[in-house]
Chain A
């Protein structure tokens, strides 16, 4: 029952918001629904329900390992959203608030989907629901970004439908009953037709990889993150991409049951390393700090993909990294939003000296940058360490070397850009713009909170979470 509430509470909230008359009080419904969702997910985390094996939808160990992170991120974003939308009171926010809540409901459904078709339907629905969020600013650039997002993600998602059909046909061809739940597909295991499984894997990896933003299908990311409001970027980077990642994990376990885990892991490793490399090179070149966050997100998706390829220990590290990445990115996106608002620009040519103009946001931005580049003691350091250890344990020394090299380049790229923005003497025009923006608690506490949680996760990873990740790994790598 509670797992259904995770979906229907936000959707009902979205409906209520759509009818809510006042533009000023409407955003307050965001944290209300967000809080209800967090309470529900953490209750489910501590006291997980028993999921019937043939259930289409359920709070199974994998959902338990990832969904609370998304819920937590959403709640904090929702609190920030109240202050953000107050600053943007000139724009009607009915559609924005309502689709934001719908996205939360659909994400909850996507994380819990245990049926190939249902998983596709929810992922596609999330993709469509995020469209009004991307062009909230209604500038020509925002429409351009939305168009590219629609075309690239629409095509990717269409390919994953083709892949789902191929996997379904693999089951049908081998005498399956046409039951497309992951449990049934895994049970069919080695009986699945090999050519169809491999075709399906390629298509599903490309399709859901597009949604995740793995290179070379990442092209929508810099545009979308650059033009969307900060909280939308945070929810895309920390919530929407993770649903695609869990989709890939679920499909991978079917492919692995069919005896093709070597091929699956090789492709995941290759695409992960390529994403990290592309991201690192782009980070060295970009001058726009919101696009920088997008490339950093591509890099972290690469890390997730590499983790998923390195056996049970790697998958455990990847689940840990989902938490680290979601929370750290959230803090970065919000502080970047503050800086952009105060400075009135987004590139290192327009913005400098933010340590003087917005000292608190700049401090959070720098701390977040160190967290995202895996400096201790933030949690990305510990999760990436575990990925690295898994690489050595599975004798992937070359992978570990390339992994470290890409991290180093990304570190150079990020520090170069962040310090160019934070240091120096503020521009005269920016000083005037500062009067429009005040660092109130509403825009400072949420990113600070996320970074604090990231720190806490790194230093004192709670046992309940470790258990949840272990249970999820046991689901993904069943002992034969």
Chain B
């Protein structure tokens, strides 16, 4: 089980770097969606015998992160008529270096945190930390609202990956609540992105500079 899981987490960490290095918005959205789906199927691997509880979570996550949210972002992208990130605050090569450095730091940091025997040797913690860091770099370093939303979603993917460590402990009610909150969050963000597009006629957050000291 650990080998397949580690393979998927490794894939997710690779997709982090793809998202950091690309200047095309469709690529970032694709990387985010693929990562969401790869992590979304993981509960199946952890839970050897299939039950409806796990099936429900997997279906909801894959549909939400892999299809619905990327679809919404692509629509916003077409509406705003942009597909490239030009002049980010942090350049593509520095972001890549930050992402790679972050992944190494995540592995080192995870080594200091003890894991239960059945999870020892898995990449859950480094994978989660690396995705959280990637999310941060995208949130801080990109100027287009859509890239920032992708950064937020990659950060959330990282947290989701960490949450898998607790899959046996979390009651269904809490899991459902967390999933619901995250989904509503994305919809609210989507609405605000739409309003910004209308109010500023652009999705470039560099134009959001009226408020400063």
Contact = CB atoms under 8 A, between A and B. Distances in A.
A124 B185 contact: yes
Contacts of A166: 162
Interface residues on A, range: 35 or more
Contact of A158 (B156, B192, B213): B156
A4 to B, nearest CB: 16
A332 to B, nearest CB: 20
A131 B116 contact: no
Contacts of B79: none
Contact of A180 (B116, B169, B189, B213): B169
B113 interface: yes
Contact of A285 (B116, B139, B171, B213): B213
A121 interface: yes
Contact of B210 (A140, A155, A161, A177): A140
Interface string A394-415: 0000000000000000000000
Contact of B211 (A117, A124, A141): A141
B48 interface: no
B210 A144 contact: yes
A195 B211 contact: no
A117 B112 CA distance: 25
B36 to A, nearest CB: 15
B166 A282 contact: no
Contact of B159 (A147, A162, A178): A162
Interface in A217-251: 222-223, 226-227
Contacts of A193: 114
B155 A155 contact: yes
A145 interface: yes
Contacts of A222: 211, 213
Interface residues on B, range: 35 or more
A20 interface: no
A223 B210 CA distance: 10
Q: What does DSSP make chain A's interface, helix, strand, loop or mixed?
A: helix
A256 B38 CA distance: 38
Contacts of A154: 152, 185, 189
Interface in B159-213: 159, 162-163, 165-166, 168-171, 174, 177-178, 181, 184-185, 188-189, 192, 195-196, 199-200, 205, 208, 210-211, 213
Nearest to B128: A162
Nearest to A175: B116
B148 interface: yes
A202 to B, nearest CB: 12
Contacts of A291: 213
Nearest to B181: A124
Name the 8 nearest CB pairs between A and B, nearest first. Answer: A178-B169, A117-B174, A121-B177, A144-B208, A140-B199, A124-B181, A223-B211, A162-B159
